[in-house]
Amino acid sequence: MVPKGMTSGTVEVCALQPMNYWKNAAQQGMPFTLNPRFLYRGLGPNCVNMGSCTMLQFIFGGKIKNMITGGVPRPLSIPEEMGAGLSAGMLSALAGSPLELIMIQQQKKGLNILATTWSLLGPDIARGFTGSAVREGLWTVGYLSIPPIVRKFMRAKAPKIFDSDDKARIPAAISGAVFACYLTHPFDTIKTCMQGDIERKTYGGF
């Protein structure tokens, strides 16, 4: 669980960092750029953020599912599956929210990681946590909870078409991705605007 989550999160960041920068810039009204010096600003904390968050989501998800079943092997109900994903994601925001705050402040102000972190020590380090927790909760439901639910549904309702788990995983993955992207985006925008405006000149609380 630990190496799988950490590795997948880090690989994702390295591949998608420019798009992450463009998203954050668009949400905050910052100009578009193709300059790699700007696009990869904040890469370090973002790698730690995504690596640790994905790792924690796998760990918490497994632990919570085990708590639900009492260690007895059995399929989870739909509410149990979604509740486990939601809880795991929200808990992971305890690590992810401060790290993403550091990344966004680096992207906006161009300071190094030590100076940025030092400037945020104190109450400001929790800025945007609520938005981050809701986003991570829904995101984790999208990639950990929805796919197995949809996969089982497809196998049960259309066994001739989806005669293997591999075939059923295709609509399951697409469903999870659509769920995650559409439901998390508003909360991500709120969080990004709050974390980019640490001085609270434009955006107040959640």
Domains in the chain, please, with CATH?
2-196 (1.50.40.10)
Q: Within the chain, where are the H helices?
A: 2-28, 36-39, 43-69, 78-109, 113-120, 129-140, 146-157, 165-196
Three-state DSSP at 174 gives helix
Name the residue with tokens 């945007």: 128
Q: Is residue 44's pLDDT more than 90? A: no
Is residue 141 exposed (0-12), middle (13-18) or buried (19+ Cβ within 10 Å)? buried
**Other Cβ atoms closer than 10 A to 160:** 5
- The CA angle 179-55-105, to the nearest 5 degrees, is 80
114-123 pLDDT tens trace: 999 999 989 8
**Residue 79 in tokens:** 């509410």
The pLDDT score that the predictor gives to residue 2 is: 57
How far apart, in whole angstroms, are the C-alpha atoms of residue 35 and residue 161?
A: 47
How far apart, in whole angstroms, are the C-alpha atoms of residue 126 and residue 155?
A: 43
137: nearest Cα among 97, 190, 184: 184
pLDDT confidence tier of residue 164, bands split at 50, 70 and 90: very high
pLDDT confidence tier of residue 95, bands split at 50, 70 and 90: very high
- pTM for this predicted structure: 0.86
